[in-house]
C-alpha cells in the first residue's frame, strides 16, 4: 500500500527550523569561503545498507529551501526497499546550496528511513499473524508527525498521536484514581461518545476488572506469551488486545502467535538506528 506524503504545511516548519539551527548566526562559513558562487555540482543520494526509504520529501525540501535552483531526479520513493549502492535521487544545481543543505537533508532521510526499516523488520517477523505493529507516543520532541509517518511507510500503524485523541488509562492513573473501575467511570463521564477508552493492565486479575467495567481496548503490559494467550481468551474479542513491553523482532513472533490484535513498540521512534545513506559527489 502506498502511503500518501505528509502535507507540506506540516513538514516545512520542521525542515526550516533544522536549517535555521544549522546555519546559526553567519550561515555556512566553510562552504561560502571555499566554493565559488557560480559553481555547480551533480550529486547522488546513495544507500549504504539494506532498508526501507522514508523521508525523501523532507530531504529534498531541505535542499530547495536553501536554494530553489537545486533540482532532483528521483529514482526511489518512500516505501521502496533499498539495497547497498542504490541511487535514491540525483541532486544537481548550485554547489553552495547542495553542500549547505546536505547535513539537514541526510539527518531527516537517515533517521526516518531507520524508523521505517526497523518497523519493516518487525512486520516481516510476524507475517502471517493477525497482529499489527503500532508505534507509541515515545517520539522525539517536535518530530512525532514525521516519525509516525515513517512507521506507516515501514508497514506499521499508528497508536494515538497525542493526549487528546484517545483515553489511555495507565498504572499511575489507576493508582491516583483508586482503582480501575473509578478511573474508567470518570473517563467515560468526562469525554465525548466517540472517544475510545483503553486501560493498561499488568495481571489477569486487573484484566478481569477492566472487562467487568467495560473498555474498548486493553494494553497487556510485559506479559509472557502464555499470559497473553490466556488474556486473549479472557477478552474473547470483547475489546482490542494490545501487547507491549520491550518487544523485538526476535520476541515478536511468539507474542503475535498469542492472538493479540496489536503489538506496540516504543523503540521504533525513540531508539531506531539510522539507515546509512550518503551524498556522493558526481561532478
209 is catalytic: no
Active-site annotation holder among 12, 80, 209, 221: 221
- Which helix or strand (DSSP H or E) is residue 60 part of? helix 56-66
Strands (DSSP E) contained in the chain are 40-47, 51-52, 71-74, 81-82, 87-94, 132-134, 167-169, 197-201, 217-221, 240-244, 262-264, 277-281
Instruction: Indicate which residue of 48, 77, 132, 138 is catalytic.
Output: 138
3-state secondary structure of 74: strand
DSSP 85: T
Q: Look up 152 and say whether it is catalytic.
A: no
* Catalytic one of 103, 132, 160, 229: 103
Active site (annotated) includes residue 171: no
Q: Give the C-alpha separation, 58 to 79, whole Å.
A: 14
Catalytic residue among 16, 48, 170, 230: 170
The DSSP result for 163-218, as a single string, is TTSSEEE-HHHHHHHTSHHHHHHHHHHHS-TT--EEEEESSHHHHHHHHHH--SEE
* Catalytic annotation, pick one of 57, 200, 242, 261: 200
Residue 169 grid cell: 488509562
Q: Is 148 a catalytic residue?
A: no
Of the chain, the end-to-end C-alpha distance in Å amounts to: 37
Tell me the C-alpha to C-alpha distance, in Å, between residue 69 and each of 10, 37, 95, 276.
23, 13, 10, 27
219, β-bridge pairs: 200, 242
38 is an active site residue: no
Question: Number of helices and strands (H, E) in the chain?
Answer: 11, 12
Active site residues: 103, 138, 170, 200, 221
Amino acid at each position: 500500500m502506498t502511503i500518501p506524503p505528509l502535507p507540506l504545511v506540516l513538514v516545512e516548519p520542521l525542515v526550516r527550523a533544522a536549517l535555521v539551527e544549522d546555519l546559526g548566526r553567519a550561515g555556512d562559513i566553510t562552504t561560502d569561503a571555499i566554493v565559488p558562487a557560480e559553481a555547480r555540482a551533480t550529486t547522488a543520494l546513495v544507500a549504504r545498507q539494506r532498508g526501507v526509504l522514508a523521508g525523501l520529501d523532507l530531504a529534498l525540501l531541505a535542499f530547495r529551501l536553501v536554494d530553489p535552483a537545486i533540482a532532483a531526479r528521483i529514482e526511489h520513493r518512500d516505501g521502496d526497499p533499498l539495497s547497498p549502492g542504490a541511487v535514491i535521487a540525483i541532486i544537481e544545481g548550485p554547489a553552495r546550496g547542495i553542500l549547505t543543505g546536505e547535513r539537514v537533508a541526510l539527518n531527516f532521510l537517515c533517521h526516518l528511513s531507520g524508523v521505517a526499516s526497523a518497523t519493516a523488520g518487525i512486520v516481516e517477523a510476524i507475517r502471517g499473524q493477525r497482529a499489527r505493529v503500532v508505534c507509541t507516543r515515545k517520539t522525539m520532541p517536535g518530530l512525532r508527525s514525521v516519525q509516525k509517518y515513517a512507521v506507516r511507510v515501514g508497514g506499521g500503524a499508528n497508536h494515538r498521536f497525542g493526549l487528546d485523541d484517545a483515553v489511555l488509562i495507565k498504572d499511575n492513573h489507576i493508582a491516583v484514581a483508586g482503582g480501575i473501575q473509578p478511573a474508567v467511570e470518570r473517563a467515560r463521564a468526562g469525554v465525548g461518545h466517540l472517544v475510545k477508552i483503553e486501560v493498561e493492565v499488568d495481571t489477569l486479575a486487573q484484566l478481569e476488572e477492566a472487562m467487568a467495567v467495560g473498555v474498548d481496548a486493553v494494553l497487556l503490559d510485559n506479559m509472557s506469551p502464555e499470559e497473553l494467550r490466556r488474556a486473549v481468551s479472557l477478552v474473547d474479542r470483547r475489546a482490542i488486545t494490545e501487547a507491549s513491553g520491550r518487544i523485538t523482532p526476535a520476541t515478536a513472533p511468539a507474542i503475535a502467535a498469542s492472538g493479540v490484535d496489536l503489538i506496540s513498540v516504543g523503540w521504533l521512534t525513540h531508539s531506531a538506528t539510522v539507515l546509512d545513506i550518503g551524498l556522493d559527489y558526481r561532478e
